[in-house]
Amino acid sequence: MNTIILTGDRPSGSLHIGHYVGSLKDRVKLQEKGEMFVLIADIQAMTDNFDNPKLLKESSYEVLLDYLSVGINPMKSNIFLQSEIPELYELFTYFLNLISIHKLQHNPTIKTELNQKNFKTGLPLGFLAYPISQASDILAFKPTYVPVGADQIPVIEVTNDIVNKFNSIYAAEVFEKINPQLSDCPKLVGTDGLKKMSKSLGNAIYLKDSPDTIIRKIRKMRSDPEHIYIENPGKLEGNTVFEYLDIFYHDKENLLKLKNHYTKGGLSDGKIKDILAETLIEYLRPIRERREKLQKDRSYLNSVLRNGRERAREVTSKTLSEVRNAIGLASSQE
Q: In the complex, what is the shortest distance from the CB of residue 147 to its own copies, in angstroms, rounded to a whole number?
A: 24
Does residue 314 interact with its own copies by CB under 8 A?
no
Is 101 one of the binding residues for its own copies (CB under 8 A)?
yes
Neighbours of 44 (CB within 10 A): 26
Among 7, 14, 31, 60, binds its own copies (CB under 8 A): 60
Nearby residues of 80 by Cβ (< 8 Å), 6 or more positions away:
37, 38, 39, 40, 305, 308, 309, 311, 312
Question: How far is it, in rounded angstroms, from Cα 95 to Cα 136?
Answer: 8
CA nearest neighbour of 150 among 176, 111, 186: 186
Residue 56 carries which side chain, given as an amino acid letter? Answer: L
Single residue of 25, 34, 71, 103 touching its own copies by CB under 8 A: 103
Nearer to its own copies, 97 or 210 (CB): 97
Query: Which stretch, 87-95, 217-225, 268-276, 287-295, contacts its own copies (CB under 8 A)?
Result: 87-95
Q: Does 323 bind its own copies (CB under 8 A)?
A: no
Work out whether 302 is an interface residue with its own copies (CB under 8 A): yes
Residues in the chain: 334
CB of 57 to its own copies, least distance (A): 5
Residue 122 lies near its own copies (rule: CB under 8 A) = yes
| Contacts of 119 by beta carbon, 8 Å cutoff, 6+ apart | 127
Give the one residue of 104, 155, 277, 280 binding its own copies; rule: CB under 8 A. Answer: 104
**Spatial distance between the Cα atoms of 219 and 48, rounded to a whole number of angstroms:** 33
For residue 237, give the nearest of 218, 256, 266, 259 by alpha carbon.
259
Is 67 a binding residue for its own copies by CB under 8 A? The answer is no
Q: Does 132 help bind its own copies (rule: CB under 8 A)?
A: yes
User: Cβ neighbours of residue 169 under 8 Å, at least 6 residues apart?
Assistant: 98
Stretch that binds its own copies, among 44-52, 109-117, 183-191, 266-274 (CB under 8 A): 44-52
Per CB under 8 A, 309 contacts its own copies: yes
* 174 conformational bin, left if phi > 0, alpha if psi -120 to 50, beta if neither: alpha
Q: Which residues pair with 4 in a beta bridge?
A: 35
Q: What is the largest CA-CA distance in the chain?
A: 83
Options 43, 70, 139, 162; binder of its own copies; rule CB under 8 A: 43
What's 148's DSSP letter? Answer: E
Q: Does 115 bind its own copies (CB under 8 A)?
A: no
262 interacts with its own copies by CB under 8 A: no
SS (H, E, C) 19-51: HHHHHHHHHHHHCCCCEEEEEECHHHHHHHHCC
Chain centre distance of CA 165: 28
**Near its own copies in 135-194, by CB under 8 A:** 169-170
* Distance in Å, CB of 316 to its own copies, minimum: 12
Number of residues that bind its own copies (CB under 8 A): 61
- Please report how close the Cβ of residue 125 comes to its own copies at its closest, in angstroms: 5
Can you tell me which of 9, 42, 137, 209 binds its own copies, judged by CB under 8 A? 42
Nearer to its own copies, 51 or 226 (CB): 51
**Contacts of 278 by beta carbon, 8 Å cutoff, 6+ apart:** none
Regarding 92 and contact with its own copies (CB under 8 A), the answer is yes
Give residues in contact with its own copies (CB under 8 A).
11, 40, 42-43, 46-47, 50-51, 53-54, 56-57, 60-61, 80-81, 83-84, 86, 89-90, 92-94, 96-104, 119, 121-129, 132-133, 169-170, 298, 302-303, 305-306, 309, 327-334
